[in-house]
Structures are given as C-alpha cells and as structure tokens.
Amino acid sequence: MSIYALADLHLSLSNPEKSMELFGHQWAGYIDRIVEGWTATVKPEDTVLIPGDISWATYIDKADEDFSFIASLPGRKLLSRGNHDYWWTTMKKLDEYFEAHSFPGMELVRTNVVEAEDCLISGTRGWMTEAGKSEDPEKKKIYDREILRLKLCAEELKKADPGHSKTHILMIHYPPVTSQQEHTGFSEIIAEAGIDICVYGHLHGRSHKFIREGEIDGCRYICASSDYLGFKPVLVRA
C-alpha cells in the first residue's frame, strides 16, 4: 500500500470547450494519458493525493462527470483545493453535496487531518509567495488568509500526533518554494511545524523551470503537476 500524488487534472468532461488541449501539444490526449499513467501505477489499495486544480467546473453540480471519472480510477483519492477549483464552496455545502452523491473512494482535505498508510495528511490551497510583500491589498489579504490556513494545518497535524510518531504530509496547490526562492512565509511554517513531506502543483509549461524539489529544512518537497510528471502519479511514500 503506497501513497502517490498527481495534481492539476484540469478535468472538463462536461464542457469540452475548457479542455486543456487548447493550451498546447503537451496536453494532447491528456485525459487518456491520465488513465494510462494512473492505472499502470496505482493499485486499488493505494492512496493518491490530488492537490488542486481538479475540475474546471464553475459550480459543484457541474463537476459530476469529473468526480465520477476520478472515482472510477483505482485507489483512495484525497482532494484539496486549487486556484481554478471554482466549484469548491463552503464546507457545509461540500459535505451536503458529497453526502448526496456517490463518488467511491474520494475524500476532501481542507485544513483537517486524514490518515493514510501510517501517515497524517492535511491540506490547503496556498497562494503566491511574493504576495506577502505586495502593495496590492487584495493580494496581501489572500496571502495572509492562506498563511493562517497553513498554520491551522500545522496545528491540526500536531494535535492529531503530538509525539510526531507518524509521517506528516502537507498537500498545497501553490508552490511554497521555487528554484529562485526557498525561504518563504509558507516554507518557514512548514519547517517550524516539522512537516515531513510537502506535495504541490500549479506550475505548467515554461514555469517548470521554477520547480524546486528535494529536502529543504527537513521537509521533502515534491512537485506533482500532471504535465510535469507526464500525467503519471509520482510516488510519495512506499
């Protein structure tokens, strides 16, 4: 039983006009490539982390086909929010929707803690790291809010495992670190909390040059952007 990750599925099965194939040859046939890479890698007993940009749907009831597609793939799936997940609404509405519909093996992660394979997992969306010094009040407001949410993730992980006897994993959509900036407000919280593994996405195409992976201040960073991985889930924990 292993843990994998694949971010940025960008599904649009009910609205082909939003297909990522419009964004270049690297996305050609990406739905089939997701199926091929996923089914060749993930076993039914495995867990897959999906840190954001899951569906292009604007409203949750328009994401049925995308959720059904994910549910049809092998393994347990843990989903957290990305910047394009406009369907992601209040916790109450999300809970009501998922209770009323059947999407086997799918769970939402939003500053709570979920256990999988002797690991504890929490998640949030994150934000642009440079916004912490932005003069734009709206960008700074979102940054501050996401910093608070990350702190909540850290607090919930510590509360669930005060002795840190399990591996702590953070799902976050925006990269907390880049090849140009390893020490940010987000990475400082991650280091202080002793988070062991951080899985992120968001970076596509030419932005792959900003990807930073490997260990920083005791945390192992993994980029799970689907086009970066060739649409095949990456191993997070064997």
- The ranges assigned to domains in the chain are 3-237
Cβ atoms < 10 Å from Cβ of 84? 19
Helix (H, G, I), strand (E, B) or coil at 225: strand
Tens digits of residue pLDDT in 188-200: 999 999 999 999 9
Predicted confidence at residue 25, as pLDDT, reads: 78
∠ CA 180-119-89, nearest 5°, is: 70
Tens digits of residue pLDDT in 128-163: 998 877 778 898 999 999 999 999 999 999 999 999
For the whole model, what pTM was predicted? 0.95
Predicted confidence at residue 99, as pLDDT, reads: 86
Sheet with 76-80, strands from edge to edge, namely 106-108, 76-80, 47-51, 3-5, 234-237
Do 196 and 168 touch, CB atoms closer than 8 A?
A: yes
Predicted confidence at residue 193, as pLDDT, reads: 97
Predicted confidence at residue 136, as pLDDT, reads: 85
> Is the pLDDT score of 2 beyond 80?
yes
**pLDDT-derived band at 22, boundaries 50, 70, 90:** low
Longest Cα–Cα distance of the chain, Å, equals 49
CATH class of 3-237: alpha beta
Nearest to 75 by CA among 111, 110, 46, 32: 46
Whole-number percent of the chain with pLDDT over 90? 80
